[in-house]
Chains A and B, each alone.
Chain A
Amino acid sequence: MTRLLVGPFNRVEGDLEVTLDIADGRVTSARVNAPMYRGFEQILRGKNPHDALVYVPRICGICSVSQSVASARALADLGGLEMPPNGQHATNVILATENLADHLTHFYLFFMPDFTRPVYASRAWHAEAERRFAPQTGEQTRAAIAARQRWFTLLGTLAGKWPHTQSIEPGGSTRPIEAAERVRLLSRVREFRAFLERQLFAAPLEKVSSIASEAELWAWHAQDPWRGDFRLFLSMVKDAALERLGPGPGRYLSYGAYPQPDGGFELGGGVWHAQRAVLSRLDEAAIREDATHAWLADSAAPRHPLDGLTLPDADKPDAYTWNKAPRLAGEVVETGAIARQLASAQPLVRDAVARHGGTVYTRVLARLIELARVVPMMERWLQQLQSGESYCVPSPHFTEGVGVGLSEAARGSLGHWIVAIRGQIANYQIVAPTTWNFSPRDAAGTPGALEQALEGAPVQEGELTPVAVQHIVRSFDPCMVCTVH
């Protein structure tokens, strides 16, 4: 057996290190280390609760809006606030803009470039991959950066700036939209739709999201296997066996995304058990964080975030990361677009996961399907804005109590828990999507989702940063700065 230390993994936010035990050209065991700690939960203690809205977006520059939304919901829960419909729609559009930008950035900038590596030089698609996805020169990479830049102008109008907007309030959005602006925003969404329909899918979004099974998907793919970046990706899936690479734990968590004024979510939540193919209700009270293998003070038993503890202990024996191990009713779960698509009964993703499990292929597939599904929703929400109606109800002075804010970032379920005493934050705990996915082992020694997914990954002779490991790590679209915050 040999041991390999792999890192830094770039292209994610913040860096990451993985220790691999390798035998017979396969990973036998993996330990995932998030090597940076900043201490946001400590920084928030003693602050005025509303000030969380200035600090928490700064946890992460790629999903700052997600952090704001989770925080605003926790404060709304604490203060018993409800957003007016305009505020709800505006908040959803702002969050969806960020989430879809993340999917786009992930595909073009973080995931596809690995297929231009020399190990793939003999593959039929390699030259085409280089032409499209080479960092800095790839034609599609550059087009995607330009599309992303235009896309974020939505947030110039709707949110003042991105990242780190403060327009998201517990009671709605601080930026009312005038009738003429709404028309202009819609035209920006259509511009992005055009990019997706021409470059990524080479098909109408409605066509892509209506594909109901794998058989239908591959039949559509066979019509023109390299046309559009999605179909080129599918060609690589088959050739590089991505459908078998990196199987996760088979349980998927979604809190539900894009709540609507009349109740319910556009993308419903829950826990999907792949083996039994059932969706169960989420029990938020069953979340615990276990700090056994984290360089953090151990509280003997795993804690619910409302009485969670985050205090560094850099010399703790047996610890190997700054990340805690969150568990849902004691179980390891995976979170992300794949979980949202499973929970919201998207037929293609359910079919693909039934056949292959959660793997590199199905994770990326779910993200792209989500892009196709959510853009039309955004068009609808924008159309539902009512001019002259209120966008925001003011917050009360938050004094005492607890609040829970659950949201969906691009990369999965994000929760904020706040305890306020005498007008100050007494405790604030965050469990981010990558905290779930890149969890270390828990007290029972059970590895986290990525740790499980890496077991069995092939390592080729002489590889120091194995390409299969890179695909698996990146298929989760990790956000390392969020992980330990």
Chain B
Amino acid sequence: MSMGAAAGFNVLWLQSGGCGGCSMSLLCADTTDFHGQLRDAGIDLLWHPSLSIESGHELSTMLDRIADGRLRLDALCIEGSLLRGPHGSGRFHVLAGTGIPMIHWVSRLAARARHVVAVGSCAAWGGVTAGGDNPTDACGLQFEDDRRGGLLGADFRSESGLPVINIAGCPTHPSWVIDTLMALAAESFTAGDLDQLGRPRFYADQLVHHGCTRNEYYEFKASAEKPSDLGCMMEHMGCKGTQVHADCNTRLWNGEGSCTRGGYACVACTEPGFQEPGHPFQQTPKLAGIPIGLPTDMPKAWFVALASLSKSATPRRVKLNAVADHLVVTPAVRKTRLK
């Protein structure tokens, strides 16, 4: 056991109607000792599908003990959406070896958990699994897209009094999960740390646009026109970074990445309903040539005025590089000392 942390914060991690990507992302957490990091924070992983040896009977026995209240559960982490179909039976996912639909297991275990955590946009809102006509009647733990409800209901509160904590993202960033679990284990996480949609504010109070390497192109409305161009992807390529809550460009992915740094649009994977935007993902929907999805906190008229002004002032360097896949014009080197 470690110092300065709540002793033995028991975490159970189950997967349902998702892809397992949040677990795989979690293992990319920025540390040289994944298990040591959890242990030092006092986190005890009771069971995780990819990391535990217990299988079959050993696991179902453990789940029974939690459901009966014989084994304490501090955080129930659910990854993947909850599959209610067909016809409310939950048979689209029966927990193997138990004959019991996963939605029933989740409801029983949630009733015993001190905290309930939705890991990823599937568990938070339904996610991609709820796309199209939603063939499996998938939903989130406490939301269906942006409507409250979901499997556990709008009024659900876990034993701690908190609603479901929605660590949304598709997948979710490993350090969004680690930071949340550590704060919970240290008892330093309160209702005020959640935004209106139940997301931890430490990452949801940011916008993807913050820290984007294409910000200079954005300022001059120098826009990418095709994949692999260097320009801003808001005007033509479907980027929603100016509206999306997440810190992807300041808390980077896999060492140094983000969607926009990788050359493709932010598709708003932390937002409810992102899976059905109503337009092709890589095309910006426009009205009279102007993108519909303008920055949330900017009046439209201002945006239009500023955009046309900045377009007329775009330096040649920015204009040409925006539509190339490598720098064709480099910044001028001045002969005199910079002032």
Contact = CB atoms under 8 A, between A and B. Distances in A.
A171 B49 CA distance: 36
Interface string B35-63: 11000000001000111111111111000
B156 interface: no
A160 interface: yes
B135 A172 contact: no
Contacts of A55: 128, 131, 275
Interface in A144-178: 145-146, 148-149, 152-167, 169, 171-176, 178
B166 interface: no
Contact of A61 (B21, B93, B275): B21
A9 B21 contact: no
B4 interface: no
Interface string B251-277: 011111111111111010100000100
B19 A58 contact: yes
B222 interface: no
B19 A145 contact: no
B132 A8 contact: no
A154 B257 CA distance: 9
Contacts of B54: 10
A17 B96 contact: yes
Given A43-B132, A135-B53, A149-B27, A61 B259 contact: no
B289 interface: no
> Per DSSP, are chain B's interface residues mostly helix, strand or loop, or mixed?
loop
A436 B255 CA distance: 35
Most buried by A among B93, B128, B228, B248: B228
B253 A161 contact: yes
Contact of A43 (B29, B34, B97, B135): B135
B284 to A, nearest CB: 14
Given A142-B34, A149-B30, A169 B254 contact: no
B132 A44 contact: yes
Contacts of B133: 42-43
A351 interface: no
A156 B95 contact: no
Contacts of B132: 39, 42-47
B58 A465 contact: yes
Nearest to B96: A7
Contacts of B197: none
Contacts of A182: none
Interface string A165-205: 11101011111101000000000000000000000000000
A314 B50 contact: no
A445 interface: no
A36 B127 CA distance: 16
A50 B282 contact: yes
For chain A, the bracket of interface size reads 35 or more
Contact of B325 (A37, A47, A391, A395): A391
Of B17, B227, B325, the most chain A CB neighbours within 10 A belong to B227
A418 interface: no
A437 interface: no
B83 A156 contact: no
B326 interface: yes
Contacts of A110: 50
Given A35-B93, A38-B83, A60 B21 contact: yes
Contacts of A163: 19, 21, 24-25, 171
Given A8-B95, A36-B93, A61-B171, A14 B281 contact: no
Given A54-B267, A135-B53, A160-B257, A8 B97 contact: yes
Interface in B282-302: 282
Interface stretch (A22-30, A112-120, A247-255): A112-120
Contacts of A153: 254-256
Contacts of A17: 96-97
A137 B132 CA distance: 43
A148 B174 CA distance: 14
Contact of B53 (A15, A42, A116): A116
B114 interface: no
Greatest chain A CB density within 10 A among B36, B97, B260, B275 is at B97
Contacts of A263: none
B96 A388 contact: no
A161 B97 contact: no
Given A142-B34, A149-B31, A136 B325 contact: no
A312 interface: yes
Given A14-B15, A42-B132, A391 B228 contact: yes
A60 to B, nearest CB: 5
24 contacts: A7-B56, A8-B56, A8-B59, A8-B97, A10-B50, A13-B24, A35-B93, A35-B94, A36-B83, A38-B135, A50-B280, A51-B280, A53-B281, A58-B128, A61-B18, A61-B20, A156-B252, A159-B262, A163-B25, A165-B264, A167-B264, A174-B263, A314-B89, A470-B55
